[in-house]
C-alpha cells in the first residue's frame, strides 16, 4: 500500500522496526511473527477533556466505537468539525478516548495547511 506522500507503508514499518530494535538488547528481539512491532498512523483526530466532552456532546463520557492498538485507548463514535481561521472546514474529525487532561487536535501537514 502506498501513502499519499508516495512512501510505501512496508518501507516505513521496516525503518521504524530497525530503529526500535537497534535500541534494545538482542535478547529482546522478536522471535516470532506475533512479537513483531505494529506500526500504525492516524493522520487526523482529536483528544478532549471531560469538560469539553460535556460542552460538545452534552454527556459525561465518549461512546467507544473500536479499540486502538494501545490498551485502553479507542476511537469514539463522536466526531467534531474543525473550522480554521480562513473558515475552511475539516468535517468528521474522529475523537479518541479516553479523555485527557488537555484537549488537542492532531492533523496531517496537508490538513494543517487548510
The angle at the Cα of 43, spanning 38 to 49, to the nearest 5 degrees, equals: 100
When mean pLDDT is compared across 15-24, 27-36, 55-64, the lowest value belongs to 27-36
Residue 10, domain extent: 1-39
**Would the pTM count as exceeding 0.95?**
no
Compute φ and ψ for 8, nearest 5 degrees: -70, 130
pLDDT at 27: 57
| Pair 108, 67 in one domain | yes
pLDDT at 8: 79
- Say whether pLDDT at 16 is over 90: no
Question: Largest Cα–Cα distance in the chain?
Answer: 53
| Pair 66, 99 in one domain | yes
| Pair 66, 31 in one domain | no
The total number of structural domains that make up the chain:
2
Q: Of 113, 91, 109, 97, give the one whose Cα is nearest residue 3.
A: 109
| Pair 91, 53 in one domain | yes
| Pair 23, 66 in one domain | no
The whole-number average pLDDT for the span 82-107 is 93
Amino acid at each position: 500500500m502506498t501513502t499519499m506522500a508516495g512512501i510505501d507503508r512496508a518501507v516505513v514499518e521496516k525503518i521504524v522496526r530497525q530503529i526500535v530494535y537497534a535500541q534494545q538488547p538482542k535478547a529482546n528481539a522478536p522471535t516470532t511473527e506475533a512479537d513483531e512491532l505494529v506500526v500504525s498512523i492516524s493522520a487526523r483526530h482529536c483528544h478532549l477533556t471531560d469538560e469539553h466532552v460535556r460542552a460538545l456532546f452534552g454527556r459525561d463520557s465518549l461512546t467507544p466505537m473500536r479499540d486502538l492498538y494501545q490498551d485502553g485507548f479507542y476511537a469514539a463514535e463522536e466526531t467534531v468539525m474543525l473550522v480554521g481561521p480562513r473558515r475552511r472546514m475539516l468535517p468528521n474529525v474522529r475523537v479518541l478516548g479516553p479523555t485527557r487532561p488537555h484537549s488537542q487536535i492532531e492533523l496531517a501537514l496537508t490538513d494543517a495547511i487548510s
